[in-house]
Each structure stands twice: as C-alpha cells, then as structure tokens.
Amino acid sequence: MGKWAEATVMVVLVVTVACDPGKLSACAVPIFFGIAPSKSCCSNLRAQAKDGCFCQYVRDPMYASYINSTNARKTIAACGIAFPSC
C-alpha cells in the first residue's frame, strides 16, 4: 500500500485598490480656496480614506503638495476624517 500525502493548497486572493485621484475633483474648490466641502466631496474622501489612498497620494510627487496642503487637511478634517500617519 502506498502512503497518501496530504497537501494543503492555499489560494491567496490579492485585491488591489485602485485609488483614483480624479475622484478628488469634487474637492478641488475646498482644497484650493479653503471653503467648506460638499457632501459629494466628503463622500469621495471617505471612500478614498477607507481604501488607504491618502498615503498613496502623499508618496506620489504629483499629488503630495495638494494632499499635504493646509486647505486639504482642513477639508479632510471638515469631513470628519482623520488624516493618516503614513
């Protein structure tokens, strides 16, 4: 009789989050001019915060100066979102 070997196969599903900076366009006016953000802006920011996009933007030279700006941080705070420490 042969011996049976039990093999465990692990399948790893990797889900990549596609952070879309275009979704930040709803927040362009608050970020550039410091006015109160709209519900649409806050909704988009919450979705991107949940997906970890802010840290990706902070590391990207194209977006870092915008996301790190005083008005962007005020906008994020006005939406009730904690700015992550990346």
- The domain spanning residue 47 has which CATH number? 1.10.110.10
56 burial via Cβ count (<10 Å: 0-12, 13-18, 19+): middle
Q: pLDDT tens digits, residue range 22-44?
A: 988 999 999 999 999 999 999 99
pLDDT bracket for residue 2 (50, 70, 90): low
27: in domain: yes
Higher per-residue confidence, 70 vs 5: 70
In this structure, are residues 69 and 31 in contact, taking their beta carbons and an 8 Å threshold?
yes
State the pTM of this model.
0.73
- Would residue 84 count as lying in a domain? no
Domain that includes residue 42, residue range: 21-78
Q: What integer pLDDT is reported at residue 23 of this predicted model?
A: 87
Top pLDDT among 6 and 61 is at: 61
Dihedral of alpha carbons 21, 76, 39, 29, sign: negative
Residue 53 falls within a domain, yes or no? yes
In a domain, 67, yes or no: yes
Question: In the chain, what is the straight-line distance between the N-terminal and C-terminal CA atoms, in Å?
Answer: 58
Tens-place pLDDT, residues 44-69: 999 999 989 999 999 999 999 999 99
Report if residue 6 sits inside a domain. Answer: no
3-state DSSP call for residue 68?
A: coil
Angle 26-22-58 from CA coordinates, rounded to 5°: 100
In a domain, 16, yes or no: no
Residue 85's pLDDT is 87
pLDDT at 14 over 60: no
* Count of domains observed in the chain: 1
CA torsion sign, 80 to 52 to 30 to 42? negative
